[in-house]
Structure 1
Amino acid sequence: MLVVMVLGVIAGAALPLQTNVNTRLRQSVGSPFLATFLSFLIGTATLLVATLAMDGRLPGPSAAAGRPWWLWIGGIFGVIVLTANLFMFPRLGAVQTAVLPVTGQVLMGLLIDHFGWFRAAPVHLGPTRALGGLLVLVGVFGAIGVADRVFGRAGGAPTGSSHGAGAWLWRLVGIGGGALLASQTAINGRLGVALDSAVAAALVSFAVGVVALLAILLATRTPWQMRRVDERRNPWWMWIGGVLGAAFVFANALLQPILGTGLTVMLILLGMMLGSLAIDALGLLGARRKKVTMFQALGLLLMIGGVALIRLV
């Protein structure tokens, strides 16, 4: 079980790496939608090869027979959250754009387990699990530097317009986006059980995302281009975002039936924070190096404690 939990943390750490990689890809192609589409396309190709290698076949149309419709929409949820974040960032700033979806993920993950939504095995939300979820949430706030900003140690208030009724609507969108991500984890896990293959479930999720993103590109008439940034050669690693994303979705589909949605979400969040702080501390993939603060380290400890409480139930 410990090995499986470590895999969840590693999968979570892949997400901030993917964000850095896709950010660099966006600089070369000029559009966030095009960068994400290319990332999804590469991820789909990776999962196609992996599915053929591991299963020896691809899921056919007959796989949909008798299955609930919601098994096939996990990829669309990911695209919705991506699009929402693009609009939230300039309106709410970086901190709220990061915190609000996490809030939705934690709450929805625990609720899915408690009520057995998406045919998940029910796990009662008792005081211990609730406290564990709260510790993870507080730990995330610390790990992304909210406390540093409150105490004036990280540049003051976040950027972006965060006042008025419109801002509160976008905050609800952020929380709802996090809930969709937790739902995606549960859906892909259940799809993996239905197809008897976690890698095939990840392939379906990515393929649906590719189709949705292609529709967005066509609707927005996004130009297709490739350019050099500051006349420097484009780094090879800007193309691996899709591989990292494929590994993340595969891990979700693999772990959810074993650990449940709530614990899977918490482990992934812990991995995300660890990966983000490692990128900042080491300056990985072209990121600017930043010192890890006391509040961030304390936040990670709280997250570990919260995961441990949830695991004890």
Structure 2
Amino acid sequence: MTSVSTPIAGRLPLWAAVGVAVGCGVLMATQSRVNGEFGRRLGDGYTAAALSFTVGLVIVVVIVALTPSARHGVRQAFAEVRAGRLPGWMLLGGVGGAVFVLTQSLASALVGVSLFTIAFIGGQTMSGLVVDRIGFGPGGRRYLTVRRVLGAGIALAVVVWSVAAHIDPEVPVWLLLLPFGAGVVQSVQQAANGRVAAAAGSAVSSTLFNFVAGASVLVLVALVHALLVGGFPASLPALVSADWWLYLGGPLGVTFIFGLATAVRVTGVLLLGLCSISGQLVGSIAIDLIAPGQGHGVDWTTPIAAALVVVAVLVVSLPSRGRP
């Protein structure tokens, strides 16, 4: 698969792209805490996820409406699809974001941010290698060098060990499988968003497509759930109250999706995933220490897992002189 030739102006250096990816990981962990608590308060994770993504969509629509370059980017992306240089399905990358936000709202508050993040990392690490090797990302095909495979192997081994240490008979297995599956589709979403951003010449335009697709899916899912279960929540937390932070999931999503779409062209999908993983682990540990959910804390295995994943990031990011 060939990469789109239209570049985004101002390519980041590798060290800056790595920093952006790590910061986005911290924001992803924060969003997991916010959306998980929002779903718990409502007693309806489906509605919470739809509201979170819709708030993000409104923000992005306003930004695009006020930014001429972003509006041009939207037109450019459609032109690239019509010309056959960009697969049309990549405009639907936001479906992966919808899966991620939905799993946050359903599982994060029940299993804890740290354990949710670890399960999510497992799926993301495994799919990152495959996505890079196939060449879905805007940087084209990236070969499986010894260091890249070793770094991913370290991260995956850490995930297996950490999940095994946290197995709890009271936590249903499907709650761990949900974030794992979200991690699998996350790498595809990041690659698709990066390709759309490159085609549009604007990461903001890519973010708009992401939120249109994701919000549409989540609103439809919430409607179906309401029809089958018997309605929506009777009330929502007041925006002007101590619970205002429950509505931050959307703005956080806008920020890290834009950041990841910008950084992926430089890092590739696998390195981007491992860098964001490091940020997610550090952020999730801090959240579970400072503001843990009900019945969730941090034990001695989690900081060790975070440190080992950072080692994996360093292994992958070191320049390789050998042949693939």
TM range (shorter): 0.7 to 0.9
TM-score of the superposed pair, with normalisation by structure 2:
0.78
Contact 1:140 1:273 in 2 (8 A): no
- Trace 1:20-169 onto structure 2 (pairs within 5 A): 20-58=33-71, 59-60=74-75, 62-63=78-79, 64-66=81-83, 67-83=86-102, 99-117=118-136, 120-140=139-159, 145-146=162-163, 148-149=165-166, 157-162=168-173
Q: Tell me the CA shift for residue 265 of structure 1.
A: 0.6
Number of equivalent positions: 294
Percent of residue pairs bearing the same amino acid type: 24
Q: Tell me the CA shift for residue 136 of structure 1.
A: 2.0
**Equivalent residue for 1:181, pick from 182, 186, 202:** 186
Which range is displaced more, 290-299 or 243-252?
A: 290-299
1:153 aligns to what? none
Contact 1:48 1:203 in 2 (8 A): yes
- Trace 1:241-256 onto structure 2 (pairs within 5 A): 241-256=249-264
User: Cα distance 1:97–1:2, how it changes in 2: closer, same or farther (>3 A)?
Assistant: closer
How many Å separate the matches in 2 of 1:300 and 1:86?
A: 23
How many Å separate the matches in 2 of 1:158 and 1:127?
A: 38
**Equivalent residue for 1:273, pick from 269, 276, 281:** 281
SS at match of 2:96: helix
Q: Tell me the CA shift for residue 139 of structure 1.
A: 3.6
How many Å separate the matches in 2 of 1:120 and 1:209?
A: 24
Q: Tell me the CA shift for residue 293 of structure 1.
A: 4.0
How many Å separate the matches in 2 of 1:206 and 1:119?
A: 20
Unaligned runs of 5+ in 1: 150-155
Contact 2:27 2:280 in 1 (8 A): yes
1:126-149 residue CA offsets vs partner (Å, 9 max, x unmatched): 22111111222234456xx54654
1:219 aligns to what? 224
Look up the equivalent residue of 2:212 and give its one-letter code. Answer: A
Unaligned runs of 5+ in 2: 1-13
How many Å separate the matches in 1 of 2:158 and 2:91?
A: 33
- Tell me, yes or no, if structure 1 residue 238 matches structure 2 residue 246: yes
User: Cα distance 1:126–1:6, how it changes in 2: closer, same or farther (>3 A)?
Assistant: same
1:309 aligns to what? 315
Q: Tell me the CA shift for residue 244 of structure 1.
A: 0.4
User: Cα distance 1:304–1:239, how it changes in 2: closer, same or farther (>3 A)?
Assistant: same
How many Å separate the matches in 1 of 2:252 and 2:103?
A: 21
1:195-228 residue CA offsets vs partner (Å, 9 max, x unmatched): 1111110111011111111212222334254245
Q: Tell me the CA shift for residue 272 of structure 1.
A: 0.7
1:4 aligns to what? 17
Q: Tell me the CA shift for residue 294 of structure 1.
A: 3.7
1:13 aligns to what? 26
How many Å separate the matches in 1 of 2:179 and 2:58?
A: 30
Contact 1:141 1:299 in 2 (8 A): no
